[in-house]
Amino acid sequence: MRKTINMPILVDHQLQEQIPRDILDFPIAFYSDELADLPNRAGPVHWHPYFEIATAQSSVLHFQVGQDHTILEPGDSIFINQNILHGIRQVSGGKPDPLPIILFSGTVVAPENSAIYQKYILPILACNSLPFVVFRHENNLWEDVRQQIHAAYRAIREKQECYELMVQRNICCVWEAIFRNFDSLPKSEASPIQLNSQVRLQKMLSYIYENYAKTITLADIAGAANISRSEAGRCFQNYLGCSPVEALIQHRLQTAQRLMQQTTLTLQEISVACGFHSVNYFSRQFRGRYGYSPGKNRSLGK
């Protein structure tokens, strides 16, 4: 969800969202309280083939969507188009924001081969200049949209009889509001170069997350996208504010932190599993990144 990359709870090794299998039966997934489990209350830049709606409830949140950055204050919600790189970090608040999130397929509104899908879903899905929409809490235009979003959260949590129909109706209302206001929504036109850079970054991130346990060079990362090392560096700096090698090290550290939380492997075993040459080097990198030793991380159950 920050300029630095942090180990996701909801994404796999390729930064693809770990969507529950039953989403094919009911094409909606719901998450909340994930920031509490993320280091520094921040998630990674990732992507998934679903639309996303998220809401800041008690804190100020920073969203990166593509190369754009926006702030959500408590009560604000955001819609993110599918297959768009995005990440989040909490920038204020004493406690982790609950951050309810709904992921959904356009098929929750209508089947892909239907006239409704072609008329109402595709124009938004295919609009490269509309990576996201923010529903500000002080904007009366979006009052009904915010109510529909919160009603969907409530229905999914309570799971009363016919809740699927209720959620479907809520999302259809949100979608209708987006479609009706489509022409007046702020656009962020992405150039062909920017779109190409995003594809390249996705390929390089996928390579890192598939091969982080091995010895990886900058040339290897760049080669995953068939570009030069300098161009790879520009892609990472533009989207993540770090170099490809720094992104690799950060992911290794994030993976190590997850292994310390979820397994009983020794620090030596974790070090090797995450691609570090020695446990001492791993410990130095970990302390430099998080401000405390791996051993303390494990003892505190962080």
Rounded to an integer, what distance in angstroms lies between the CA atom of residue 71 and that of residue 91?
9
Per the CB < 8 A criterion, the answer to whether 170 and 149 are in contact is yes
Please state, in angstroms and rounded to a whole number, the distance separating the CA atoms of residues 71 and 65: 11
Domain ranges, residue 91: 21-184
Residue 42: partners with Cβ closer than 8 Å, 6 or more residues away: 1, 2, 4, 6, 35, 87, 88, 89, 90
> How confident is the model over 266-279, as a mean pLDDT?
92
Stated as kind and residue range, the H or E segment containing 90 is strand 86-90
In this predicted structure, the answer to whether residue 18 has a pLDDT above a threshold of 60 is no
Locus of tokens 């959620």: 167
Q: What pLDDT was estimated at residue 32?
A: 92
Considering the domain architecture, whether residues 268 and 156 belong to the same structural domain is answered as no
CATH number, position 239: 1.10.10.60
Q: What is the pLDDT of residues 40-98, one digit of tens each?
A: 788 878 888 999 999 999 999 999 998 899 999 999 999 999 988 899 999 987 899 99
For the chain, what percentages of helix, strand and coil (3-state, to nearest 5) are there? Answer: 50, 15, 35
Q: What is the mean pLDDT of residues 120-134?
A: 94
CB 145 within 8 A of CB 92: no
- Residues 252-272 have pLDDT tens digits of 998 888 888 888 899 999 999
Instruction: Give the burial class of 224: count Cβ atoms within 10 A of its Cβ; 0-12 exposed, 13-18 middle, 19 or more buried.
Output: buried
- State which amino acid sits at residue 96: P
The confidence band for 11, taking pLDDT boundaries of 50, 70 and 90, is: very low
Q: Which of 89, 74, 92, 115 is nearest to 4 (CA)?
A: 89
Spatial CA neighbour of 83 closest among 53, 49, 107: 49
Please check whether residues 217 and 260 belong to one and the same domain: yes
In a domain, 266, yes or no: yes
Contact present, 75 and 146 (Cβ < 8 Å): yes
| Distance (Å, whole) CA 257 – CA 302 | 8
Q: Which of 184, 213, 248 is the endpoint of a domain?
A: 184
The pLDDT score that the predictor gives to residue 298 is 63
User: Is the per-residue pLDDT at 212 higher than 70?
Assistant: yes
Final residue before a domain boundary, out of 130, 159, 184: 184
Same domain, 211 and 178: no
Per-residue tokens: 271: 């070090």
